[in-house]
A and B are shown apart, each in its own frame.
Chain A
Amino acid sequence: MTNRCEDMRDRMGAWLDGELSRSRFEEIRVHLESCSACREERRQLEKLQASLKELLVAVPSNVSFERFWPGVEQRIERQRSWYENLLGWARDLSAPPQLAWAVPAVIVLLLLGVFSLESFFPGSRLAGQRNNFANVESIDAFGRNVAVLRENETKTTIIWLYQNQEGEDESTGEKSEAGPSF
């Protein structure tokens, strides 16, 4: 492959996309008339484009946008009510001066309450970030396959049972080989 061909191929994508200047476009068009290797490159790129389009442009089956706007609207409403609560609180703060001493007192009491929350509500989320991961110490699936799956972001543990290859009916209750132990 010549340097000229390499240069042509580097721009082949842009040529197919119609993004080259008039003169550059012509240059490559003329070159393709006499270079079979570059024509092959063009053919491959066109096939790649077509496959990409077929794969990516098709809307996935059964995608419904019915709940899309409600999902967006919910987020907007949530933010609105947060703002309104904040405004209301700010308004209350500018209440008569006799009550002004109560504000720092309430804040102190709230902070103390939060720190002692664990004793009143053991395991509450406010008491601190809990590690939600569960450890599976033993498991017997009575002939079914088991997958134990853990996901980091939500700290979720899922124990999932599924049929073995032979598609044995779970209702037979026959214990085949022992399930995995952890």
Chain B
Amino acid sequence: MESSDWELVQKCQAGETSAFQELVSRYQQKIFMVILGVLRDREDSMEVAQEAFFRAYRKIKGFQGGSSFYTWLYRIAVNMAIDAQRRQKRNPLEFRENMDSVLEEQHEVEKDPFANVHDKELRASLSAAINDLTAEHKAVIILRTVEGLSYKDIGEILGCSEGTVMSRLHYARKKLQGKLKAFL
């Protein structure tokens, strides 16, 4: 019978790295997807996702089961993604944009990691509109849309009230709606 998250956490706390490996295997894709939604870059997201699990490993002895393991883990991952995006914004973005456009000319790199969405124009506009959101607004959109988390869980992850989650979602959706009027 499959062990619950809490059972695996307790084994980690007792020093069993294999239990942590099982937790990583359960959540690696979800964590990666959340971070990818914020950072919009596959390589960076992989890197940050691995760091997020490493940080969780270091802090796991302090996890007492007050919240569910996955909301605790998401909190670590989302905070790291937000920090990473702030660092990204401090670097000149024109480097990446230039590199992408240069490589795209040679069709050697998929500029957009979400290449299997068919409507290219909508995809491009939606992608650009998401990129314009702040990291915090991106995070609520990702957690709601990708993970289907409740406002309560999202609030726990982001360390804010349900009311704040609702108003951030409302603001983010309004902004996206404004930019995509032609497609909606």
A138 to B166, CA, bound (A): 55
- B4 close to A (CB within 8 Å): no
* Residues of chain A from 141 to 166 with CB closer than 8 A to chain B in the complex: 147, 149-153, 158, 160, 162-163
Which residues from chain B sit less than 8 Å from chain A, CB to CB?
17, 21, 24-25, 28-29, 32-33, 36-37, 42, 46, 49-51, 53-54, 57-58, 87, 91-92, 95, 98-99, 102, 105-106, 110, 113-117, 122-123, 126-127, 130, 141-142, 144-146, 150-151, 162, 166, 169-170, 173, 176-177, 180, 183-184
Given contacts A61-B116, A71-B50, 13 further A-B contacts (CB under 8 A): A17-B169, A47-B183, A51-B183, A55-B123, A60-B36, A61-B115, A68-B46, A72-B50, A73-B21, A76-B54, A149-B98, A158-B99, A163-B105
Residues on A with C-beta less than 8 A from B58 are: 79
Q: Is A85 an interface residue (CB 8 A)?
A: no
Q: How far is the CA of A75 from the CA of B55 in the complex (A)?
A: 10
**Which of B99, B115, B130 is within 8 Å of A60, CB to CB?**
B115
B95 and A58: CB pair below 8 A?
no
By a CB distance below 8 angstroms, the chain B residues around A147 are 98-99, 102
Residue A48 at the chain B interface, CB threshold 8 Å: yes
C-alpha spacing A163/B24, complex, angstroms: 43
Number of interchain pairs (Cβ within 8 Å): 125
Interface SS majority for chain B: helix
On whether the beta carbons of A65 and B102 are closer than 8 Å, the reply is no
Which residue on A lies nearest to B125, using beta carbons? A51
With A68-B49, A68-B50 given, is the CB distance from A48 to B180 under 8 Å?
Answer: yes
Bound together, the chains give a CA A79 to CA B59 distance in angstroms of 13
> Lowest 4 A-B CB distances belong to which pairs?
A60-B113, A75-B54, A71-B50, A44-B184
Query: Is A137 an interface position by the 8 A CB rule?
Result: no
CA distance in complex: A45, B145 (Å):
13
Residues of A within 8 A of B114 (CB): 55-56, 58, 60
Whether B145 pairs with A76 at a CB distance below 8 angstroms is no
Among candidates A13, A54, A71, A158, residue contacting B170 with C-beta atoms closer than 8 Å = A13
Q: Complex: how many Å from CA A118 to CA B102?
A: 39
Do A162 and B32 touch (CB < 8 A)? no
Indicate if the CB atoms of A68 and B170 lie closer than 8 Å: no
A98 CA / B64 CA spacing, docked (Å): 47
